Structure formats: structure tokens, C-alpha cells
């Protein structure tokens, strides 16, 4: 199929075309020609918008697909449709399904179900059996079967010995360990961030310390593992220079102290990276005053000081990626008293509109899009993409000034606090697998 993208501004720091307004001719899944006033066959589709922008396809590093086992909340068909509408060409799915993705059979099921979907699905396999934090999975077998990373997903890895040995096991295959930092003995029965607001609302708090202790612990364990190797210091130098070989990745950090700890670790040369959930950038703990269970997330919304530190971490490169932390929950899991409701927000369709509406000039478009493209690809060891003639046409098209109303979701679940709101910043569609898929 051939189609022409007309007058689009390129947002791609790796491309010589970055910042230029060009026409892009796509044919048979490749970028055939880039220039001005290009012509195409009479039968070719023309894609245009008043303020059209184009970048390499976006990657979401943290998606709870709920399939297999919880298909009433989400399945791979619906999550891939929501991802495409949100501008993503690639998603990495968590292992917290039923059964857990802890063996080659379940991993193979997900990969088979992902065939023919509008987006690429990359599988994060469990570190421990049933993500229970006790016995190791066959990580090397799972790695060779196609797992892009290892994590117990929504279950933070509590046992330091398991984390240390996982780092050691994955070193020979250049594997990636992902952990959501939370000391669960400090957050047991917690409902929201521990602070003045939790006291006023009478809800059990989840202290920032619970996250920061695990960040500090994991960084020290990583340092220990690298120093134990005969080439530990060389590994550090390579990690800093290449910016590609992250060994340990922190998922959904949320506190100012976590940002500072990771900033210091990077300055010391540790091969570490991290991401932030997009909703953490726009809400603080005062948003829970109305007891809206759609705002109940883990990690919880922190203080305004923490939110400012997260934006600063994005701006200076401490935070590598922005994720949706898409966590579908059905009505029966959310329409409850606040302390009984499940954690989670759906977010695949609203990542870009939230960023476009709330960035307020803190980051350039090139910086923001890098958090959705280049860095996630590097961290997950995915092939690099760039906008140039002869390259694969894996693209995201968006208009940062277009206004629209978020009236419906393609997810099976509706647990979004943004439904019914208007946004500035709209995804136009994606170009993937040789086809244009409009965001509607």
C-alpha cells in the first residue's frame, strides 16, 4: 500500500530531518522518499492535518494486558486497539496474568495472540514462579523464547537475594531486570500517599520512604554485582558511553528522593534507568479529596514537591521514559468504597494528550518524544528507528495543537479519570506493518 504524509514536521533527534517540514512517501512498509511537494499515485491515500508532526513509533514499556485469565477486564485485541489509538506502535506487557507468564507455554500464547495485531507486543516474563517472589523461573529459557525483560510486574521484588542473583543470572545474556520499588511491609493496607492529606481523609498512608528504601537497596546490590565481576569498572564505563545497556530499570518512580538517588547513580556510572507513569505528572495527593477510585493508583500520587521533581528528572535525563502504566479494572473492582477498590488507571489513549496539555514548556517536543521512542527502545534492546529514506515506516502521527473530547475508550475497562474531559494534543494515527491506522 502506498500513501503520502503531507507537510509533517519531523520530531526525531536521530534524523538529519529533525525539525523540518517535509512530505513522506510510504510504499510497501518503507519510507521511499522524503522531500517537498512530493507526488503519489492517484489511488494513494494522502494524510494531512493543520499542524501535523511525525516521529518514530512510540513505545509503552508498562502495560497490564490482563490476557490470559482476566479477559473480562482486557484482552490482547482490545489492548492493542487502545495502544494504536494512543499512538503506540509497540507495547511491553507485564507478566501478571492468570496463569502468570512464567514459562515458555504462556509466553508462547501471548506471542501467538499478538500476531496480526496493529501494534508489536513485547513480553516481559516473570522473575519468580507465579510472580510470588519465592522460586526462580527458567529465565534463560524465557530469554531465548523471546522475553524482552524480566520483572514480577505489579509485585515488587522484596527478597534482596533474589534480586542480586537475578542480576547475576542475566549478565551473560545482556538481560534486563525491571522492578517497581516498594517495601510492602511499610505500605501494608495503604491507600494513598502518607501525608497531611491522608490524615485529613482518614486513609492509611503509603510513605515515600517505602519506595526510596528499595531504590537505594537495589542500587547498592547492582553496584555490588558489578564490583564482583573482574571487569566491573569497564562495564560501568561502557554503560555510560553507550546509553543502551541498562542492567536495572526502575518502573514508575514517584518521589523526589528516588529521582535524586537515580541521578546520583547515573553520575557514578551505574547502568540504571527508570520511567514515570504519565498520571504521576499531573496529579498530587490532594486530588483524592473526592474519594474517586479511578484516582487510586500504586505508586500513589505524591506531594506537589514530588511532582515538580519528576518533571525536573525528565528534563535533565534522569528519568528515561514515560509510560501509561495501563491497568484495566472492571466496574466490580472500582465501584466500591475507596479502601476496597483495586489500584489502577487505564492510560494508553491519553499519554500524549496529557503531556501536550500539561507540559507547559518544561520540555521541548524533541525531549518529550525521546521518552516515548529512543530511550524505551534502547532500554528494551529493540531495533533503533529513524525517519530516513529506505527505513521501515514505523511512525506515529500527531497534532500537538488540535483539541478533542475524550468520550469513549477502546479498552474493555473504563477506569479512567479523564473520560469526559477535553484535551489539547491529538494522535492522528500510526503507520505500521505497511498500513495507516487512524486514531479512531
Q: Copy the grid coordinates of residue 247.
A: 542492567
Q: How far is CA 60 from CA 89, 264, 375, in A?
A: 9, 26, 11
Look at residue 240 in the predicted model and tell me its pLDDT.
43
Would you say residue 389 has pLDDT above 90? yes
Asked if 436 and 47 count as a contact pair (C-beta separation under 8 A), the reply is yes
Phi, psi of 155 (to 5 degrees): -105, 105
Q: What's the pLDDT tens digit per position in 116-145?
A: 999 999 999 999 999 999 999 999 999 999
Q: Do residues 132 and 152 both lie within one domain?
A: yes
Tell me the average pLDDT across 14-19: 92
CATH of the domain at 46: 2.30.40.10
Q: How far is CA 159 from CA 128, 152, 153, 171, 229, in A?
A: 11, 12, 15, 19, 22
Split into its structural domains, the chain has a count of 2
Q: Is 361 left (phi over 0), alpha (psi -120 to 50) or beta?
A: left
Listed residue (333, 356, 359) closest to 346, CA to CA: 333
Would you say residue 244 has pLDDT above 60? no
Look at residue 235 in the predicted model and tell me its pLDDT.
52
Task: Using the Cα atoms of residue 106, residue 109, residue 113 and residue 115 in order, give the sign of their dihedral.
Answer: positive
Look at residue 231 in the predicted model and tell me its pLDDT.
53
Give the structural domain span for 402.
2-52+391-438
Look at residue 14 in the predicted model and tell me its pLDDT.
86
Residue 398 lies in a domain: yes
Q: Do residues 406 and 264 both lie within one domain?
A: no
Tell me the average pLDDT across 346-355: 98
Q: What is the mean pLDDT of the chain?
A: 95
CATH of the domain at 128: 3.20.20.140
Q: Do residues 285 and 227 both lie within one domain?
A: yes
Residue 384 lies in a domain: no
Catalytic machinery residues:
325
Q: Do residues 181 and 222 both lie within one domain?
A: yes
Last residue of a domain, one of 355, 379, 403: 379
Q: Do residues 135 and 253 both lie within one domain?
A: yes
Q: Do residues 276 and 335 both lie within one domain?
A: yes
Asked if 437 and 366 count as a contact pair (C-beta separation under 8 A), the reply is no
Last residue of a domain, one of 379, 400, 430: 379
Residue 7 lies in a domain: yes
Residue 385 lies in a domain: no
Q: Do residues 264 and 412 both lie within one domain?
A: no
Would you say residue 185 has pLDDT above 70? yes
Structure-model confidence comparison of residues 283 and 233, the more confident one: 283
Q: Is 205 left (phi over 0), alpha (psi -120 to 50) or beta?
A: beta
Tell me the average pLDDT across 390-395: 94
Q: How far is CA 137 from CA 64, 98, 105, 157, 381, in A?
A: 20, 16, 13, 14, 21
Q: Do residues 175 and 30 both lie within one domain?
A: no
| The overall pTM is greater than 0.85 | yes
Q: Do residues 196 and 116 both lie within one domain?
A: yes
Q: Report how far residue 29's alpha carbon sits from residue 391's, in angstroms, rounded to the nearest whole number.
A: 9
Q: Do residues 302 and 414 both lie within one domain?
A: no
Residue 364 lies in a domain: yes
Q: Do residues 73 and 27 both lie within one domain?
A: no
Residue 318 lies in a domain: yes
Q: How confident is the model at residue 40 (pLDDT cuts 50, 70, 90)?
A: confident
Look at residue 440 in the predicted model and tell me its pLDDT.
86
Last residue of a domain, one of 334, 351, 379: 379
Q: Do residues 34 and 168 both lie within one domain?
A: no
Residue 11 lies in a domain: yes
Task: Using the Cα atoms of residue 47, residue 53, residue 59 and residue 63 in order, give the sign of their dihedral.
Answer: negative
Strands 321-323 and 272-277: parallel
Structure-model confidence comparison of residues 352 and 41, the more confident one: 352
Would you say residue 61 has pLDDT above 60? yes
- Containing 206, the helix (H) or strand (E) segment is strand 205-206
Residue 386 lies in a domain: no
Amino acid at each position: 500500500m502506498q500513501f503520502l504524509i503531507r507537510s509533517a514536521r519531523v520530531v526525531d533527534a536521530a534524523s538529519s530531518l529533525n525539525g523540518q517540514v517535509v512530505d513522506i512517501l510510504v510504499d510497501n512498509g518503507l519510507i521511499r522518499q522524503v522531500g517537498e511537494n512530493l507526488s503519489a499515485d492517484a489511488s494513494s491515500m494522502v494524510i494531512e492535518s493543520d499542524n501535523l508532526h511525525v516521529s518514530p513509533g512510540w513505545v509503552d514499556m508498562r502495560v497490564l494486558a490482563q490476557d490470559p485469565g482476566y479477559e473480562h477486564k482486557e484482552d490482547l485485541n482490545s489492548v492493542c486497539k487502545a495502544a494504536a489509538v494512543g499512538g503506540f506502535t509497540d507495547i511491553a506487557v507485564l507478566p501478571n496474568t492468570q496463569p502468570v507468564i512464567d514459562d515458555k507455554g504462556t509466553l508462547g500464547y501471548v506471542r501467538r495472540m499478538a500476531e496480526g495485531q496493529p501494534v508489536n507486543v513485547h513480553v516481559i516474563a516473570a522473575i519468580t514462579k507465579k510472580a510470588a517472589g519465592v522460586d526462580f523461573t527458567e529465565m534463560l529459557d524465557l530469554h531465548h523464547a523471546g522475553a524482552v525483560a524480566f520483572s514480577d510486574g505489579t509485585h515488587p521484588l522484596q527478597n534482596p537475594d533474589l534480586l542480586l542473583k537475578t542480576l547475576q543470572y542475566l549478565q551473560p545474556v545482556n538481560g534486563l531486570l525491571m522492578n517497581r520499588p516498594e517495601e510492602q511491609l511499610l505500605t501494608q493496607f495503604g491507600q494513598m500517599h502518607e501525608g497531611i492529606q491522608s490524615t485529613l481523609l482518614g486513609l492509611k498512608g503509603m510513605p515515600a520512604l517505602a519506595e526510596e528504601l528499595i531504590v537505594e537497596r537495589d542500587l547498592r546490590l547492582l553496584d555490588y554485582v558489578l564490583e564482583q565481576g573482574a571487569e566491573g569498572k569497564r562495564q560501568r564505563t561502557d554503560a555510560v558511553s553507550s546509553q543502551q545497556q541498562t542492567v536495572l530499570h526502575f518502573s514508575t518512580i514517584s518521589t523526589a528522593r528516588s529521582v535524586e538517588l537515580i541521578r546520583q547513580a547515573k553520575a557514578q556510572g551505574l547502568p540504571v534507568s527508570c520511567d514515570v507513569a504519565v498520571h504521576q505528572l499531573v496529579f498530587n495527593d490532594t486530588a483524592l479529596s473526592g474519594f474517586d477510585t479511578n484516582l487510586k493508583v500504586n505508586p500513589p500520587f505524591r506531594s506537589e514537591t514530588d511532582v515538580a521533581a519528576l518533571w525536573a528528572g525528565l528534563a535533565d535525563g534522569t528519568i528515561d521514559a514515560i509510560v501509561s502504566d495501563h491497568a484495566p479494572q472492571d466496574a466490580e473492582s472500582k465501584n466500591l468504597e475507596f479502601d476496597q477498590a483495586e489500584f489502577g488507571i487505564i492510560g494508553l489513549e491519553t499519554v500524549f494528550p496529557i503531556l501536550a496539555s500539561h507540559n507547559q514548556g518544561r520540555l521541548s517536543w524533541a525531549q518529550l518524544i525521546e521518552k516515548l521512542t529512543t530511550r524505551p527502545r534502547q532500554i528494551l534492546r529493540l531495533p533503533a528507528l529513524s525517519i530516513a529514506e529506505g527505513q521501515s515506516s514505523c511512525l506515529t502521527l500527531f497534532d500537538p495543537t488540535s483539541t478533542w473530547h475524550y468520550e469513549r475508550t477502546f479498552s474493555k475497562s473504563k477506569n479512567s479519570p479523564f473520560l469526559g474531559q477535553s484535551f489539547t494534543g491529538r494522535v492522528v494515527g500510526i503507520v505500521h506493518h505497511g498500513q495507516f491506522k487512524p486514531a479512531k
